[in-house]
Structure 1
Amino acid sequence: NVKVIFAIDRGGLVGEDGPTHHGSFDISYLRLVPNLTIMAPKDENELQHMLYSALKYQGPVAIRYPRSAGEGVSMDWDFKEIPYGKAELIKDGKDLTIIAIGNMVYQALKAAKELEREGKSIAVINARFVKPLDEELILDYAKKTGKIITVEENTLIGGFGSAICELLADKNISVKIKRIGLPDKFIEHGDLKTLKIKYGLTSEEIKKIALELLNSQ
């Protein structure tokens, strides 16, 4: 319960830093630690608010963020406290929900906008928190859309998508769900763009899986 903040750089794929530097497993092993809050920002502006918020929260907090430049968004002058354990509904929708964590949020939003042009109504949730999850918002959209895609730059085993599946199982909510993330392997060296395409961490792959879910019986 010590009040300490872990700022975890290189969360996810790191490209040219080499295979030993990929942050593929941190969400999975950090979820096991009691009383530890786990957060991941969608961009550099949200990161500064998370760091500020972590100072206000009780107990240890881990904030994971990727290597590389930010999204290039404008920065707020004033720090804002993020409500503890609360996700951000970025886009409403009724056909399917994409729940993304960290820097995968913008890929999810891009996919949703492309699907919108094809007449699909897609909700996008920026989870912000891996632990605790925003159970109220997630369960609300699980019931509303009945179809969910989770997106993370972490191994699928024990990761963010696993946390969502556990929540749905515990609450006895039946939905169709697909998880997008890294496979159970040590990821090789390569540039970020190539690796993200290879492992499906792109808006194109999210859109493809969304269409498969939407067209399923």
Structure 2
Amino acid sequence: MAYEGGQTTCPRCGESILEARYDLEALRESNWAEQLVTRKPGVWRYHELLPVLNTRHITSLGEGGTPLLKAENLGVMLGLKNLYIKDERQGPTGSFKDRQASVAISVLREVGVTEAVVASTGNVAIAYAAYAARAGIKLWAFLTSQAPSEKMREAALYGAEVIKVTGTYDQTKAVAAKFAQSKNVFLDRGVKTIAAIESMKTMGYEIAEDLGWRAPDWFIQGVSGGMGPIGLVKGFE
């Protein structure tokens, strides 16, 4: 089934970065926070605050629920008494992109998309390949030639069609977009995709929950497109 469209810009202002809205008041009245105690760790522990309407469409490999480790020795070196590291290496494919892939692929599954295109420098391609395989979705993964060959092989092992693009990441995204348009196939838009931003909130929820429902004073993360901090801040809010 080809992708038939979908809202990718605001109908009023034309903005390409969209934001999900939830009935937070109804959630508070349902004693949602108390219900969390009975749920197992993971991204879908917070499913009411993720953009999937029916939980039967959830595609999961056990992502999320990663440990928040107190870095005592590093903290001493830096003069910080309460320094923590959120260890996202514990995900199914070894990066925080597993959160993104789980939510994004679940949304595609819910709306009936069976073929998708993604551009990547490595981790996104691997994560999407794993979750697409789980959901039975064909994935075309365009990777910049600057990506390690090991990452290309790993994505291919999950069954993705891997296309190596000689050029920068921006050039790779342009090639992927042109390909998706020519085949009328869904193109994942990364940081501009609702599912991607919403998935990163769960990292913020987990950190706050582990700290007794308190947000940290500071959060530091190395970024490329900035998706992690954008979503995480939304979670802290």
Superposed pair shares fold, TM > 0.5: no
TM-score (norm 2): 0.27
Higher relative contact order (CA 8 A, sep 6+): 1
Decide which structure has the larger Cα Rg and report it.
2
Structure whose residues are more often helix by fraction: 2
